[in-house]
Amino acid sequence: MVITYHGVESFKIQFGETVIAYNPISKSSEFKRANYGADIVMVSLNHPDMNGVENASRGDKAPFVVSGPGEYELGGITIRGFLSKSSYGGVERINTIYLLSMEGMNLCFLGALASPESLSLETKETIDGIDVLFIPIGGSGVLNPEQAYKLAVNLEPALSIPMHYGEGLNETALRTFLKEGGEEKIEREEKLTLKKKDLEGKEGEIIVLQAAL
């Protein structure tokens, strides 16, 4: 599995010939967007910064789109969506948390989660056993760095990948988030190549990905 970051909450996940896009940035967003074909698109929030399904089309082939709570299965991939809330953009909106299970790994995308209280106890119990946690840290309608770190500790993932910070958002959020975890130096990776065996012995390690714009 190869994970690359494309800014805000946009990620590309590829394993074999299968490509998954998470919260692709739309054409009407002020943020730069990536264009690549995807087999599956997950959208957690109906906002231009995160609902760019049109940018994940591949010629005449439209991707399978998941845009809300429910349970989905496609080609050995299981996706479960859980209802939560976001205040991104200054308006209370429905946010979907996704638990993606494939290759023996559980990837949890919190989307634009407004606060730790927006994560219900039932959802928290259901998403137990997280291998990779994608967590927003920028504040302004999503978790702030301090909230994000405490929630990450509580959810006990093997790896945490911060998102929703940087250019045009909260520039200092990443440094604050890392400081909460006792890390002062920011070391960015261009991409994360991951196999199940790579998670052995990992407990809450933070991986910072450089946005590929």
**Choices 1.20.144.10, 3.30.300.130, 3.40.50.1580, 3.60.15.10: CATH for 2-209:** 3.60.15.10
What would you report as the CA-atom Rg of the chain, rounded to the nearest whole angstrom?
16
The domains of the chain are located at: 2-209
Measured in residues, the chain has a length of 213
**How far is CA 105 from each of CA 64, 159, 199, rounded to the nearest angstrom?**
21, 11, 9
**How far is CA 130 from each of CA 27, 91, 185, 193, rounded to the nearest angstrom?**
32, 29, 25, 17
Is the pTM higher than 0.85? The answer reads: yes
At 140-183, the pLDDT tens digits run: 999 999 999 999 999 999 999 999 999 889 989 999 999 999 88
At 101-117, the pLDDT tens digits run: 998 999 999 999 999 99
Q: Both tokens of residue 7?
A: 């800014």
The DSSP 8-state label assigned to residue 38 in this structure reads: -
